[in-house]
Structure 1
Amino acid sequence: MSYVGPDFEPPRPRRSRRGPLTVAVAALVPGALLGWLAYEAVGGTGGGGEDDRPQASSTSSPAVAFPTEEAASPTEDGKEPSPTPTPANSSGSGPLAGKVVVIDPGHNPGNFQHTSEINRKVDIGTGLKECDTTGTSTNAGYTEAKFTLDVAHRMRTILEAQGATVKLTQDADRPYGPCIDERARIGNDARADAVVSVHADGSGTGDRGFHVILPGSVDAGAADTRPIVAPSRDLGERIAGNFVRFTGSAPSNYVGDGTGLVTRKDLGGLNLSTVPKVFIECGNMRDSKDEALLTSGAWRQKAAQGISEGIVSFLRG
């Protein structure tokens, strides 16, 4: 997601205060550094510029031991795989039968034409923020809104094939939005077992990697995240581990102190949620090396698989 706007302003960099405890996520396997090596193979670099505006408090999370395996290669003919059509009867049986998953594709392709509407303020419990933003894009113009919908469609196919009932907060089926408070409400009203908001970042060149944003403990106004903090952390850790396993990407080198996990208290989509929910920033659209991944259909399929497998692991316990 772009680091400009309501749910999209980053925490300022902090010095690491990591303790010795490492959190194990998903199924730990030997060779957890393979994801890092795959990342370096495509040219990972350090560095990172940040938005210098004052931010609400946020904290990085304990380090995660990321399980890894060889990422799948593109098809032999060089064509990028497309999402498989959704089965006609996809939520009646399977290991996730009876489970409800809400996927929240960040932004909306129509937001660019509705700036006045998305700029109106909504209450997120700890203050007021704009309804939504346009999101970011690559330097070549591939938009975050297009990326998030593509990944969401791929995730829906994967999860419905396992029996889950899947709902999207938007499917380019409305002029703009929904606003960040409505996005939270959709998951709440669905009594979702898990909600994942899909994004891509808009940070500086050299800033690379993914990070998962977890809700901090908030009790203010209409926001009370205390009941969902623990299950959301479990969900986020499982997604982070599986994201490395399927994509080979490394955790962000510019937020999260290398853990791939960041806790925030200033995001309306998390503050107003009453069900387990996390955000995932799949990569930085403004870095040329991450851009090459984010614009690849083959890589987006891996990203969808990694996020989905994290959700499956969480739901199956």
Structure 2
Amino acid sequence: MGKNLNVLMKQHPKGWVTEADFEVVERPIPEAGPGQLLVRNIWLSLDPYMRGVMDPGRSYLAKLGPGDAMIGGTVGEVMTSDNPKFPVGCYVVGNLGWRGYGVTDGVGLVKIDPALAPLSTWLGVLGMPGVTAHYGLMQIGKPKEGETVVVSAASGAVGGTVGQIAKIKGCRVVGIAGGKAKCDYVVNELGFDACIDYKAPDMEAAFKDATPKRVDVYFENVGGKIMEMVFGRLNSFARVPLCGIISQYNLTEPEGFTGMRHLLVNRATVTGFIISDHMPYWPGAIQEMAGWIKAGKLKYKEDVAEGLEAAPAAFIGMLAGKNFGKQLVRVGPDKL
């Protein structure tokens, strides 16, 4: 058998993740046993939640220990199978981690149709990030036509989808992103009404100008100072889907939260959510978003790193906001 590249967490990071916290190793390609299947990974998703499992503290996911393989969503091709649900040659999306090949009993795998959309989209706009955006906005944000929706990390896989859905629903949409290029993309390509560059010195004044009717829905992806700023502009009975706080993940001492008064005065609702708790919601959301893609109403952007060896650097760059669009790793070709 050939070699199977794996990326392991070598040690728990101390503050910011570095490439020294990872180790790339070669192992034999595993063999599938009774009821199992062997999957060749083609695409790997890199997502902010992975930073949390690298720390030894409490989280909603199982923690990694030194020497454990990094976890992550994957799209791959079934190479051998003793499972009738997943025949050889079909494509599947699952969580086989940062490796070239993985063996699974099929639990948690979903067979996908490559004719519906490119394989990579099943880890982005039609995968976990897309469904996260759809659920968080529609089920927690509950946007109404004419309301103002604000989205942080607006050029990312989740944020970009949130804003486009809000526009489809007739809202005024204001994004927050880092740098002119990302803001231009958010407005000119994704159709947001405005985008605030959080790196600009006049950020707070620009945000106030962009939200003349204040904020009805704030889809939170970053936390920290940006969250404080937006909370100061909330309308009464605003809704805040709390998806992530990426600005805090690498801090040894997270920035404090002082915006409780805004939540109280405006009787706002802040709801944290994890999309894996809502699996029955996925099929309907994916079907609706696939229709929007086909109709040209929903666009997406991907940032692709080539090869598993490039995954650690790409992951670190994503946490620092260097990616532009959904961060992916191309593990191998669509077909051997």
TM-score relative to the length of structure 2: 0.28
The structure with the larger Rg is 2
TM-score relative to the length of structure 1: 0.30
| Structure having greater relative contact order (Cα 8 Å, sep ≥ 6) | 1
